[in-house]
Protein backbone atom coordinates (compact mmCIF):
# COMPACT_ATOMS: atom_id res chain seq x y z
CA UNK A 1 0.00 0.00 0.00
CA UNK A 2 1.44 3.35 -1.07
CA UNK A 3 1.89 6.01 1.59
CA UNK A 4 0.82 9.63 1.12
CA UNK A 5 1.57 12.49 3.49
CA UNK A 6 -0.66 15.58 3.30
CA UNK A 7 0.71 18.79 4.84
CA UNK A 8 -1.91 21.56 4.84
CA UNK A 9 -3.11 23.98 7.51
CA UNK A 10 -6.74 23.89 6.25
CA UNK A 11 -8.47 21.15 8.24
CA UNK A 12 -11.37 20.76 5.80
CA UNK A 13 -9.00 20.12 2.90
CA UNK A 14 -6.86 17.83 5.03
CA UNK A 15 -9.84 15.71 6.10
CA UNK A 16 -11.68 15.56 2.76
CA UNK A 17 -8.57 14.84 0.71
CA UNK A 18 -7.45 12.21 3.21
CA UNK A 19 -10.83 10.47 3.11
CA UNK A 20 -10.87 10.36 -0.68
CA UNK A 21 -7.31 9.02 -0.92
CA UNK A 22 -8.01 6.33 1.67
CA UNK A 23 -10.98 5.24 -0.47
CA UNK A 24 -8.54 4.95 -3.38
CA UNK A 25 -6.45 2.50 -1.39
CA UNK A 26 -3.67 4.75 -0.10
CA UNK A 27 -2.29 4.84 3.44
CA UNK A 28 -2.60 8.51 4.41
CA UNK A 29 -0.79 10.59 7.05
CA UNK A 30 -1.78 14.17 7.90
CA UNK A 31 -0.01 17.23 9.28
CA UNK A 32 -1.35 20.76 9.80
CA UNK A 33 2.02 22.52 9.89
CA UNK A 34 5.47 22.19 8.38
CA UNK A 35 7.39 21.06 11.44
CA UNK A 36 4.97 18.24 12.20
CA UNK A 37 4.97 17.30 8.53
CA UNK A 38 8.77 17.04 8.49
CA UNK A 39 8.69 14.83 11.56
CA UNK A 40 6.14 12.47 10.00
CA UNK A 41 8.07 12.42 6.72
CA UNK A 42 11.28 11.31 8.42
CA UNK A 43 9.47 8.65 10.41
CA UNK A 44 7.13 7.20 7.76
CA UNK A 45 9.08 7.87 4.53
CA UNK A 46 5.92 8.31 2.38
CA UNK A 47 5.87 7.66 -1.36
CA UNK A 48 4.18 10.99 -2.08
CA UNK A 49 3.91 14.31 -0.23
CA UNK A 50 1.06 16.73 -0.96
CA UNK A 51 2.40 20.03 0.36
CA UNK A 52 0.56 23.33 0.77
CA UNK A 53 2.64 26.41 -0.05
CA UNK A 54 0.94 28.95 2.19
CA UNK A 55 1.26 27.94 5.85
CA UNK A 56 2.13 29.95 8.96
CA UNK A 57 5.55 29.80 10.64
CA UNK A 58 7.18 27.42 8.14
CA UNK A 59 5.90 27.85 4.59
CA UNK A 60 5.72 25.14 1.97
CA UNK A 61 8.87 26.15 0.11
CA UNK A 62 10.88 25.87 3.32
CA UNK A 63 9.38 22.44 3.98
CA UNK A 64 10.12 21.43 0.39
CA UNK A 65 13.74 22.47 0.79
CA UNK A 66 14.11 20.50 4.03
CA UNK A 67 12.47 17.36 2.65
CA UNK A 68 14.77 17.44 -0.38
CA UNK A 69 17.73 17.89 1.92
CA UNK A 70 16.69 14.75 3.79
CA UNK A 71 15.77 12.72 0.67
CA UNK A 72 16.56 14.22 -2.73
CA UNK A 73 14.49 11.52 -4.50
CA UNK A 74 11.27 12.28 -2.62
CA UNK A 75 8.17 12.97 -4.73
CA UNK A 76 6.50 16.21 -3.66
CA UNK A 77 3.36 17.70 -5.22
CA UNK A 78 2.89 21.31 -4.21
CA UNK A 79 -0.63 22.74 -3.77
CA UNK A 80 -1.68 26.35 -3.34
CA UNK A 81 -4.76 28.52 -3.10
CA UNK A 82 -2.86 31.52 -4.50
CA UNK A 83 -1.29 29.90 -7.53
CA UNK A 84 0.96 31.93 -9.80
CA UNK A 85 3.32 30.69 -12.46
CA UNK A 86 6.30 32.16 -10.58
CA UNK A 87 5.41 30.13 -7.47
CA UNK A 88 4.90 26.98 -9.55
CA UNK A 89 8.16 27.45 -11.41
CA UNK A 90 10.08 28.09 -8.18
CA UNK A 91 8.63 24.98 -6.54
CA UNK A 92 9.49 22.73 -9.48
CA UNK A 93 12.96 24.26 -9.77
CA UNK A 94 13.49 23.36 -6.09
CA UNK A 95 12.56 19.75 -6.81
CA UNK A 96 8.75 19.50 -6.64
CA UNK A 97 7.31 16.98 -9.07
CA UNK A 98 4.24 19.04 -9.97
CA UNK A 99 2.00 21.88 -8.85
CA UNK A 100 -1.77 21.86 -8.20
CA UNK A 101 -4.03 24.84 -7.66
CA UNK A 102 -6.89 25.10 -5.20
CA UNK A 103 -9.75 24.44 -5.36
CA UNK A 104 -8.54 20.89 -5.92
CA UNK A 105 -10.32 18.65 -8.40
CA UNK A 106 -10.06 15.06 -7.29
CA UNK A 107 -9.60 13.62 -10.79
CA UNK A 108 -6.62 15.89 -11.38
CA UNK A 109 -5.12 15.05 -7.97
CA UNK A 110 -5.36 11.33 -8.74
CA UNK A 111 -3.93 11.85 -12.22
CA UNK A 112 -0.84 13.61 -10.86
CA UNK A 113 -0.35 11.12 -8.01
CA UNK A 114 -0.66 8.16 -10.39
CA UNK A 115 1.75 9.73 -12.86
CA UNK A 116 4.25 10.46 -10.10
CA UNK A 117 4.18 6.94 -8.62
CA UNK A 118 4.07 4.97 -11.86
CA UNK A 119 6.26 7.17 -13.99
CA UNK A 120 3.39 7.34 -16.47
CA UNK A 121 -0.31 7.37 -15.59
CA UNK A 122 -2.53 4.38 -16.25
CA UNK A 123 -5.08 6.71 -17.78
CA UNK A 124 -4.71 9.94 -19.69
CA UNK A 125 -5.92 13.32 -18.56
CA UNK A 126 -9.00 15.01 -19.96
CA UNK A 127 -7.77 17.79 -22.22
CA UNK A 128 -10.81 18.93 -24.09
CA UNK A 129 -11.54 15.85 -26.16
CA UNK A 130 -8.52 16.02 -28.48
CA UNK A 131 -5.91 13.28 -28.16
CA UNK A 132 -3.49 11.55 -30.48
CA UNK A 133 -5.40 8.78 -32.22
CA UNK A 134 -4.07 5.24 -32.37
CA UNK A 135 -2.26 4.67 -35.65
CA UNK A 136 -2.74 1.68 -37.93
CA UNK A 137 -0.59 2.50 -40.96
CA UNK A 138 2.74 0.96 -41.98
CA UNK A 139 4.93 3.92 -41.03
CA UNK A 140 4.43 4.02 -37.28
CA UNK A 141 6.99 5.84 -35.14
CA UNK A 142 7.17 5.69 -31.36
CA UNK A 143 5.49 8.39 -29.31
CA UNK A 144 7.82 10.28 -26.99
CA UNK A 145 7.77 12.46 -23.89
CA UNK A 146 10.45 14.02 -21.69
CA UNK A 147 12.16 12.04 -18.95
CA UNK A 148 11.47 14.45 -16.08
CA UNK A 149 9.95 17.81 -15.25
CA UNK A 150 11.90 20.91 -16.20
CA UNK A 151 11.34 24.67 -16.02
CA UNK A 152 12.05 27.67 -18.25
CA UNK A 153 12.11 31.26 -16.96
CA UNK A 154 11.72 34.45 -18.97
CA UNK A 155 9.41 37.19 -20.16
CA UNK A 156 6.62 37.13 -22.74
CA UNK A 157 7.60 38.83 -25.99
CA UNK A 158 4.19 40.45 -26.51
CA UNK A 159 2.98 40.78 -22.93
CA UNK A 160 6.29 41.91 -21.43
CA UNK A 161 5.29 40.06 -18.25
CA UNK A 162 7.80 38.02 -16.26
CA UNK A 163 6.76 34.46 -16.73
CA UNK A 164 7.96 30.89 -16.93
CA UNK A 165 6.74 27.47 -17.88
CA UNK A 166 6.92 23.96 -16.48
CA UNK A 167 7.31 21.05 -18.88
CA UNK A 168 6.07 17.71 -17.53
CA UNK A 169 6.06 14.16 -18.93
CA UNK A 170 2.69 12.81 -20.09
CA UNK A 171 1.48 9.36 -21.17
CA UNK A 172 1.12 8.17 -24.72
CA UNK A 173 -1.97 9.28 -26.67
CA UNK A 174 -2.25 12.50 -24.61
CA UNK A 175 -0.74 14.95 -27.10
CA UNK A 176 0.84 18.28 -26.24
CA UNK A 177 -1.35 20.19 -23.80
CA UNK A 178 -1.12 23.65 -22.23
CA UNK A 179 -2.42 24.10 -18.69
CA UNK A 180 -3.13 27.69 -17.70
CA UNK A 181 -1.90 28.77 -14.25
CA UNK A 182 -3.73 29.60 -12.04
CA UNK A 183 -7.01 28.87 -13.86
CA UNK A 184 -6.18 25.20 -14.45
CA UNK A 185 -7.86 25.05 -17.88
CA UNK A 186 -6.20 22.67 -20.32
CA UNK A 187 -5.87 23.59 -24.01
CA UNK A 188 -4.59 21.13 -26.63
CA UNK A 189 -1.85 22.30 -28.99
CA UNK A 190 -4.11 21.54 -31.93
CA UNK A 191 -5.23 23.54 -34.95
CA UNK A 192 -8.87 23.66 -33.79
CA UNK A 193 -7.81 25.78 -30.79
CA UNK A 194 -5.70 28.33 -32.68
CA UNK A 195 -6.95 31.76 -31.66
CA UNK A 196 -4.78 34.46 -33.16
CA UNK A 197 -1.98 34.62 -35.69
CA UNK A 198 0.08 37.28 -37.38
CA UNK A 199 2.73 38.27 -34.89
CA UNK A 200 2.62 34.96 -33.00
CA UNK A 201 0.63 31.73 -32.81
CA UNK A 202 -1.73 31.31 -29.87
CA UNK A 203 -4.34 28.84 -28.68
CA UNK A 204 -7.54 29.56 -26.76
CA UNK A 205 -9.75 27.41 -24.55
CA UNK A 206 -13.07 28.34 -22.97
CA UNK A 207 -11.60 31.01 -20.71
CA UNK A 208 -7.84 31.21 -21.23
CA UNK A 209 -5.29 32.00 -23.92
CA UNK A 210 -1.70 30.82 -24.28
CA UNK A 211 0.38 32.94 -26.66
CA UNK A 212 3.60 32.61 -28.67
CA UNK A 213 3.71 28.81 -28.77
CA UNK A 214 5.63 28.36 -32.04
CA UNK A 215 9.21 28.01 -30.75
CA UNK A 216 8.22 25.40 -28.18
CA UNK A 217 6.25 23.44 -30.79
CA UNK A 218 9.17 23.61 -33.21
CA UNK A 219 11.44 21.99 -30.62
CA UNK A 220 8.78 19.36 -29.84
CA UNK A 221 8.43 18.65 -33.57
CA UNK A 222 12.13 18.06 -34.16
CA UNK A 223 12.70 16.16 -30.89
CA UNK A 224 9.76 13.92 -31.73
CA UNK A 225 7.89 14.82 -28.54
CA UNK A 226 4.23 13.89 -28.94
CA UNK A 227 3.06 13.97 -25.30
CA UNK A 228 3.78 16.87 -22.96
CA UNK A 229 2.06 19.01 -20.34
CA UNK A 230 3.07 22.67 -20.41
CA UNK A 231 2.08 24.68 -17.33
CA UNK A 232 2.20 28.38 -18.12
CA UNK A 233 0.26 31.58 -17.59
CA UNK A 234 -0.58 33.69 -20.63
CA UNK A 235 2.55 33.49 -22.78
CA UNK A 236 5.47 31.12 -23.43
CA UNK A 237 8.72 32.84 -22.34
CA UNK A 238 10.67 34.17 -25.31
CA UNK A 239 14.16 33.35 -23.99
CA UNK A 240 16.75 35.00 -26.23
CA UNK A 241 14.29 35.08 -29.12
CA UNK A 242 15.26 31.62 -30.36
CA UNK A 243 14.45 28.02 -29.41
CA UNK A 244 17.90 27.25 -27.98
CA UNK A 245 17.00 27.35 -24.28
CA UNK A 246 14.00 25.09 -24.86
CA UNK A 247 16.24 22.60 -26.67
CA UNK A 248 18.75 22.71 -23.82
CA UNK A 249 16.01 22.03 -21.28
CA UNK A 250 14.75 19.09 -23.32
CA UNK A 251 18.26 17.68 -23.49
CA UNK A 252 18.58 18.01 -19.71
CA UNK A 253 15.22 16.32 -19.13
CA UNK A 254 15.96 13.53 -21.60
CA UNK A 255 13.63 12.05 -24.21
CA UNK A 256 11.72 8.84 -23.46
CA UNK A 257 10.20 6.51 -26.04
CA UNK A 258 6.73 5.31 -25.13
CA UNK A 259 4.72 2.19 -25.95
CA UNK A 260 2.20 3.86 -28.22
CA UNK A 261 2.86 4.63 -31.86
CA UNK A 262 1.87 7.47 -34.13
CA UNK A 263 1.76 7.67 -37.91
CA UNK A 264 3.25 10.84 -39.42
CA UNK A 265 1.22 12.77 -41.97
CA UNK A 266 2.89 11.77 -45.25
CA UNK A 267 1.94 14.18 -47.99
CA UNK A 268 0.65 12.20 -50.98
CA UNK A 269 -0.30 15.09 -53.27
CA UNK A 270 0.72 18.69 -53.70
CA UNK A 271 -1.27 21.15 -51.62
CA UNK A 272 -0.92 24.83 -52.48
CA UNK A 273 -2.62 27.77 -50.85
CA UNK A 274 -4.74 29.86 -53.19
CA UNK A 275 -2.85 32.75 -54.81
CA UNK A 276 -1.56 35.00 -52.04
CA UNK A 277 -0.87 38.73 -52.11
CA UNK A 278 2.43 40.60 -52.30
CA UNK A 279 4.35 37.78 -53.96
CA UNK A 280 3.70 35.28 -51.16
CA UNK A 281 3.66 31.57 -51.87
CA UNK A 282 3.16 28.45 -49.74
CA UNK A 283 2.78 24.81 -50.74
CA UNK A 284 3.64 21.31 -49.58
CA UNK A 285 4.37 18.33 -51.80
CA UNK A 286 5.48 14.71 -51.43
CA UNK A 287 8.93 13.92 -50.08
CA UNK A 288 10.43 11.06 -48.09
CA UNK A 289 11.35 13.39 -45.21
CA UNK A 290 10.60 16.87 -43.87
CA UNK A 291 12.26 19.61 -45.86
CA UNK A 292 11.56 23.32 -46.09
CA UNK A 293 12.65 25.64 -48.89
CA UNK A 294 12.14 29.28 -47.91
CA UNK A 295 12.78 32.49 -49.84
CA UNK A 296 12.69 35.77 -47.94
CA UNK A 297 12.78 39.11 -49.77
CA UNK A 298 12.96 42.34 -47.81
CA UNK A 299 14.57 45.75 -48.18
CA UNK A 300 17.90 46.33 -46.48
CA UNK A 301 19.28 45.28 -44.09
CA UNK A 302 17.60 41.89 -44.62
CA UNK A 303 17.77 41.69 -48.40
CA UNK A 304 17.18 38.44 -50.30
CA UNK A 305 17.77 35.31 -48.21
CA UNK A 306 17.19 31.72 -49.28
CA UNK A 307 17.56 28.61 -47.11
CA UNK A 308 16.83 24.92 -47.65
CA UNK A 309 16.36 22.93 -44.44
CA UNK A 310 16.37 19.18 -44.22
CA UNK A 311 17.77 17.01 -41.50
CA UNK A 312 17.23 15.55 -38.07
CA UNK A 313 17.05 17.00 -34.57
CA UNK A 314 20.80 17.65 -34.43
CA UNK A 315 20.73 19.67 -37.65
CA UNK A 316 17.77 21.64 -36.30
CA UNK A 317 19.56 22.40 -33.02
CA UNK A 318 22.69 23.52 -34.85
CA UNK A 319 21.26 25.43 -37.81
CA UNK A 320 17.69 26.57 -37.04
CA UNK A 321 16.99 26.69 -33.28
CA UNK A 322 19.55 29.50 -32.60
CA UNK A 323 17.86 31.88 -35.09
CA UNK A 324 16.18 34.75 -33.22
CA UNK A 325 13.00 36.76 -33.58
CA UNK A 326 13.58 40.02 -35.45
CA UNK A 327 11.79 43.26 -36.15
CA UNK A 328 12.29 46.87 -37.19
CA UNK A 329 12.19 49.68 -34.65
CA UNK A 330 9.16 51.10 -36.46
CA UNK A 331 7.42 47.71 -36.13
CA UNK A 332 7.88 47.69 -32.37
CA UNK A 333 6.49 51.21 -32.18
CA UNK A 334 3.39 50.00 -34.08
CA UNK A 335 3.10 46.89 -31.89
CA UNK A 336 3.30 49.03 -28.76
CA UNK A 337 0.26 50.98 -29.94
CA UNK A 338 -1.54 47.63 -30.31
CA UNK A 339 -0.53 46.56 -26.80
CA UNK A 340 1.95 43.99 -28.16
CA UNK A 341 5.72 43.59 -28.32
CA UNK A 342 6.35 45.14 -24.90
CA UNK A 343 8.65 42.24 -23.99
CA UNK A 344 11.00 42.91 -26.89
CA UNK A 345 14.36 43.79 -25.33
CA UNK A 346 17.93 44.12 -26.47
CA UNK A 347 18.73 40.59 -25.30
CA UNK A 348 15.75 38.68 -26.76
CA UNK A 349 15.07 40.08 -30.23
CA UNK A 350 17.09 41.39 -33.18
CA UNK A 351 16.19 45.06 -33.53
CA UNK A 352 16.75 46.51 -37.00
CA UNK A 353 17.13 50.04 -38.28
CA UNK A 354 16.90 50.80 -41.98
CA UNK A 355 20.60 49.99 -42.27
CA UNK A 356 21.62 47.29 -39.78
CA UNK A 357 20.98 45.27 -36.66
CA UNK A 358 21.52 47.82 -33.92
CA UNK A 359 21.61 45.71 -30.76
CA UNK A 360 23.45 42.49 -31.56
CA UNK A 361 25.76 40.57 -33.88
CA UNK A 362 23.98 38.11 -36.13
CA UNK A 363 24.53 34.42 -35.39
CA UNK A 364 24.21 33.62 -39.11
CA UNK A 365 24.39 35.91 -42.14
CA UNK A 366 20.96 34.55 -43.07
CA UNK A 367 19.54 34.40 -39.53
CA UNK A 368 16.26 36.02 -40.62
CA UNK A 369 15.22 33.32 -43.08
CA UNK A 370 16.31 30.62 -40.63
CA UNK A 371 13.98 32.11 -38.03
CA UNK A 372 11.10 32.02 -40.51
CA UNK A 373 11.76 28.29 -40.90
CA UNK A 374 11.82 27.88 -37.11
CA UNK A 375 8.35 29.42 -36.87
CA UNK A 376 7.07 27.29 -39.75
CA UNK A 377 8.32 24.04 -38.15
CA UNK A 378 6.42 24.99 -34.99
CA UNK A 379 3.20 26.04 -36.70
CA UNK A 380 2.85 22.89 -38.80
CA UNK A 381 3.11 20.76 -35.65
CA UNK A 382 -0.39 21.95 -34.73
CA UNK A 383 -1.70 18.78 -36.38
CA UNK A 384 -0.29 16.92 -33.36
CA UNK A 385 1.90 14.68 -35.49
CA UNK A 386 5.11 14.91 -37.57
CA UNK A 387 4.82 16.05 -41.19
CA UNK A 388 6.65 14.22 -44.00
CA UNK A 389 6.77 16.43 -47.08
CA UNK A 390 8.53 19.32 -48.77
CA UNK A 391 7.28 22.82 -47.93
CA UNK A 392 8.05 25.65 -50.34
CA UNK A 393 7.50 29.12 -48.91
CA UNK A 394 8.07 32.71 -49.96
CA UNK A 395 7.43 35.75 -47.79
CA UNK A 396 4.95 33.92 -45.55
CA UNK A 397 4.33 34.12 -41.82
CA UNK A 398 2.09 32.67 -39.12
CA UNK A 399 -1.13 33.61 -40.90
CA UNK A 400 -0.25 31.60 -44.01
CA UNK A 401 1.31 28.75 -41.99
CA UNK A 402 -1.93 28.28 -40.06
CA UNK A 403 -3.97 28.44 -43.26
CA UNK A 404 -1.86 25.58 -44.66
CA UNK A 405 -2.35 23.50 -41.51
CA UNK A 406 -6.12 24.03 -41.73
CA UNK A 407 -6.09 22.92 -45.35
CA UNK A 408 -4.10 19.79 -44.49
CA UNK A 409 -6.54 18.94 -41.71
CA UNK A 410 -9.49 19.40 -44.08
CA UNK A 411 -7.95 17.14 -46.73
CA UNK A 412 -6.36 14.39 -44.66
CA UNK A 413 -8.37 14.20 -41.42
CA UNK A 414 -11.95 13.78 -42.57
In angstroms, the CA 294 to CA 255 distance is 29
Residue from 180, 221, 371, 398 carrying the catalytic annotation: 398
Closest to 387 measured CA to CA, from 211, 201, 191? 191
306 among known catalytic residues: no
* Residues with catalytic roles: 398
Amino acid sequence: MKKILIIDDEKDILDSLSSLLVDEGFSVFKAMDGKNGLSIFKQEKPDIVLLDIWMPEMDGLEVLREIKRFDEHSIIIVISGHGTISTAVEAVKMGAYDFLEKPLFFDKVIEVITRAIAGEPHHRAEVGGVTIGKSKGPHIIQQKTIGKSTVVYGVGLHSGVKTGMILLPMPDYTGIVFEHVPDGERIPAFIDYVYSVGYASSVKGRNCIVRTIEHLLAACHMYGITNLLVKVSEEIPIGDGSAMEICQKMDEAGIVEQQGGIEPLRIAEKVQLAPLSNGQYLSIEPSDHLEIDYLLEHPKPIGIQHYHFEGDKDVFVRDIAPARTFGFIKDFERLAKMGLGSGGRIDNVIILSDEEAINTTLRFEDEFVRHKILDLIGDIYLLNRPIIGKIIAKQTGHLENIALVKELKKRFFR
